[in-house]
Amino acid sequence: MAGVVFVLGLLVVGGLLFLGASLLLGRGETQPPAEVGRSPVELPDDRPVVGDDVRALRISVALRGYRMSEVDWLVDQLAQVLDERDAEIARLRAGTDRPAAAVPPDPARSDAEDTDPEGVPVPAVDEEDRTGA
């Protein structure tokens, strides 16, 4: 009988210590609970997503989550694609994307034989190379 009273006493004292520590230290959460159906990852709504937005993402780690190295690699690849897309859009909007065939040949050029009929430059062939001398 004394053993049962001893075990119950230990449980009561342990429970009181745990309750006191819980009240004194709090629940240990630093952030409020997440809203249901909302992702903790935030991307801008007021502008297009850019590479720096993707690089700034921080995805929480779970016990059975993804491998962090794979997620980091994927985020880096996505950020690079976004940067390339933005550079291409900026280049196209600047009007610098004109193919060589669309550029009219300059009639004042004296070396007209160095271009094909579409105005694309043709490499010059040296007479010595042609004759083998």
Q: Judge contact between 48 and 13, C-beta under 8 A.
A: no
CA distance linking residue 60 with residue 55, whole number of Å: 14
Taking only the tens place, the pLDDT of each residue in 20-75 is 888 887 766 666 666 665 556 677 778 888 888 888 877 777 777 777 777 788 78
Maximum Cα interatomic distance, the chain, rounded to a whole number of Å: 118
For the chain, give the mean pLDDT: 74
Does residue 53 sit within a domain?
yes
Does residue 65 sit within a domain?
yes
Does residue 87 sit within a domain?
yes
Question: Looking at the whole model, is its pTM more than 0.75?
Answer: no
Total domains in the fold of the chain:
1
Taking only the tens place, the pLDDT of each residue in 69-121 is 777 887 888 888 889 989 999 999 998 655 555 555 555 554 445 666 666 56
